[in-house]
């Protein structure tokens, strides 16, 4: 039997594990991002591809050569790129370099005119700005104008070009690196994850199959034993009380005193038989256990007032004494012989019998108070009969219908409108219990049931 407390704990457990998974996922994403950004000690940036540099359009016999020292393969739009240019004078004259420019959307800052001595070299550090460029690859092309100070060498313009460089941003580059790391991890963990998932699915399938096997092979047979040994006898005893009450109700009024005495005694004997089988169940199992806790509450909410009213008339001790005289398998005739032997009764027994008879019947048949309490037994019988079949049809703990249930046809709850005519003092409580009970049933099990009015 699944209670609301267990369901609440199950939902809380699911929420806890979902929150834990989200926290771990957030931590993993943060670690990947910081690793990609190079903010952790020991996490160096990824290797940079070597930039290919070529000179072109230089006059034959030029004394000046220019080189862009690698590696340079990307520039950030919001962060200047520092580059190093190496100028080498291969001639015998001093060379002056007065002009430097970049082609396209790139701009350079930090250039100053320089003079290079013969057979010497000079390094120049520049900052390249790509704020005017779009994301993507752009060519890096530079031009240098130079001349000899004495005018003897051939002046010229040197063109320096490299393979295209990538224009990007710090965030885009960090995200790209993080995704590359994540894909690398997933690539390495793909087969372990697939195997773990298959193992989990196999285990879940076997667990569900084992649970289903336990339901069909253990729980349902045990419940069937409870139904056959205890619940059906109780239902039969309730039917006997209702049948005897119906016979008295259908008798022509006014009922003669002798006929009234016989019929009321048979009703009392039926009630005592019901009390006997109920005591046997309580002594052996501790009480009635249904699939639904709401069904248990509704059954006892209806049966307890009827039992207390009978004890008020008969007396609890005397009612137990009479009930314990009976056997569980006694017929009504055998019960009548045990409870009402031939001969005069003592005063206590006579007074108890008179109070009970006055509660059950009057000169016109059944009393109005007993009719209302009889409806309580009708509700008990309807709940008991339905719950005897319900577990064999509805075995899902969430309340849904299980397609592999024992029964194919849905049991139907047989509540009628006249059953709701119960004692006024009990109406609010029992109507509330009935509504809660009906809300938890599948539609096909309550298609003909009308909800009681408050």
**Whole-number pLDDT of residue 57:** 45
Write the DSSP symbol of residue 161: E
Residue 423 has a pLDDT of: 92
Stretches where the chain sits below pLDDT 70 are 1-10, 32-62, 70-71, 149-160, 211-218, 252-255, 342-345, 394-408, 454
Please tell me the pTM assigned to this model.
Answer: 0.56
Q: What is the pLDDT of residues 138-193, one digit of tens each?
A: 887 777 777 776 666 666 666 667 778 888 887 887 777 777 777 777 777 777 77
Cα separation, 58 vs 37, whole angstroms: 41
pLDDT at 36: 59
Please write down the HEC assignment for all residues of the chain: CCCHHHHHHHHHHHHHHHHHHHHHHHHHHHHHHHHHHCCCCCCCCCCCCCCCEEEECCCCCCCEEEEECCCCCEEECCECEEEEEEEEECCCCCEEEEEEEECCCCEEECCCCEEECCCCEEEEEEEEECCCCCCEEEEEEEEEEEEECCCCCCCEEEEEEEEEEEEECHHHHHHHHHHHHHHHHHHHHHHHHHHHHHHHHHHHHHHHHHHHHHHHHHHHHHHHHHHHHHHHHHHHHHHHHHHHHHHHHHCCCCCCHHHHHHHHHHHHHHHHHHHHHHHHHHHHHCCCCCCCHHHHHHHHHHHHHHHHHHHHHHCHHHHHHHHHHCCCCCCHHHHHHHHCCCCCCCHHHHHHHHHHHHHHEECCEECHHHHHHHHHHHHHHHHHHHHHHHHHHCCCCCCCCCCCCCCCCCCCCCCCHHHHCCCHHHHHHHHHHHHHHHHCCCHHHCCCCCCCCC
- Predicted local confidence at residue 221, as pLDDT: 78
Cα-Cα-Cα-Cα dihedral sign, residues 128, 130, 136, 140: negative
User: Angle at the Cα of 417 (from 414 to 419), degrees rounded to 5?
Assistant: 75
| Dihedral in degrees, nearest 10, Cα atoms 7, 10, 16, 19 | -80
Residue among 19, 162, 22 nearest 85 (CA): 162
156-168 vs 74-76, strand pairing mode: parallel
Q: How many other C-beta atoms can be found within 10 angstroms of the C-beta atom of residue 105?
A: 13
pLDDT for 83 equals 83
Neighbours of 232 (CB within 10 A): 15
């Amino acid at each position: 039997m699944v209670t609301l407390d267990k369901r609440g704990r199950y939902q809380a457990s699911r929420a806890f594990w979902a929150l834990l998974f989200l926290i771990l996922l957030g931590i993993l994403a943060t670690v990947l991002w910081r690793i990609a950004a190079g903010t952790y000690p020991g996490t160096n940036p990824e290797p940079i591809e070597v930039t290919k540099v070529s000179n072109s359009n230089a006059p034959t016999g030029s004394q000046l050569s220019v080189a862009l020292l690698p590696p340079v393969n990307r520039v950030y739009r919001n962060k200047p790129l520092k580059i190093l240019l190496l100028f080498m004078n291969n001639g015998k004259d001093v060379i002056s370099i007065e002009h430097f420019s970049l082609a396209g959307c790139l701009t350079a800052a930090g250039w100053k005119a320089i003079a290079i001595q013969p057979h010497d070299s000079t390094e120049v550090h520049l900052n390249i700005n790509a704020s005017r460029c779009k994301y993507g690859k752009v060519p890096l092309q530079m031009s240098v104008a130079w001349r000899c100070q004495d005018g003897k060498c051939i002046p010229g313009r040197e063109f320096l070009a490299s393979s295209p460089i990538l224009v990007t941003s710090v965030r885009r580059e960090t995200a790209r690196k993080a995704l590359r790391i994540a894909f690398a991890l997933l690539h390495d963990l793909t087969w372990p994850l697939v195997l773990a998932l298959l193992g989990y699915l196999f285990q879940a399938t076997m667990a569900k199959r084992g649970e289903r096997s336990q339901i069909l092979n253990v729980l349902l047979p045990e419940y069937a034993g409870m139904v056959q040994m205890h619940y059906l006898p109780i239902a039969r005893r309730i039917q006997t009380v209702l049948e005897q009450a119906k016979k008295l109700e259908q008798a022509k009024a006014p009922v003669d005193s002798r006929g009234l005495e016989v019929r009321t005694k048979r009703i009392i004997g039926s009630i005592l038989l019901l009390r006997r089988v109920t005591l046997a169940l309580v002594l052996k199992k501790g009480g009635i256990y249904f699939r639904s806790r709401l069904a248990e509450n509704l059954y006892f909410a209806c049966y307890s007032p009827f039992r207390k009213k009978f004890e008020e008339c008969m007396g609890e001790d005397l009612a137990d004494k009479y009930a314990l005289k009976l056997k569980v398998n006694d017929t009504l005739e055998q019960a009548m012989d045990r409870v009402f032997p031939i001969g005069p009764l003592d005063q206590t027994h006579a007074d108890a019998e008179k109070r009970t008879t006055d509660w059950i019947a009057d000169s016109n048949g059944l009393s109005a108070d007993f009719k209302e309490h009889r409806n309580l037994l009708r509700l008990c019988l309807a709940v008991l009969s339905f719950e005897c079949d319900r577990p064999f049809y509805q075995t899902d703990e969430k309340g849904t219908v299980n397609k592999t249930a024992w029964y194919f046809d849905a049991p139907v709850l047989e509540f009628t409108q006249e059953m709701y005519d119960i004692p006024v003092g009990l109406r609010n409580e029992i109507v509330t219990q009935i509504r809660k009970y009906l809300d938890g049933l599948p539609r096909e099990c309550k298609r003909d049931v009308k909800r009681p009015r408050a």
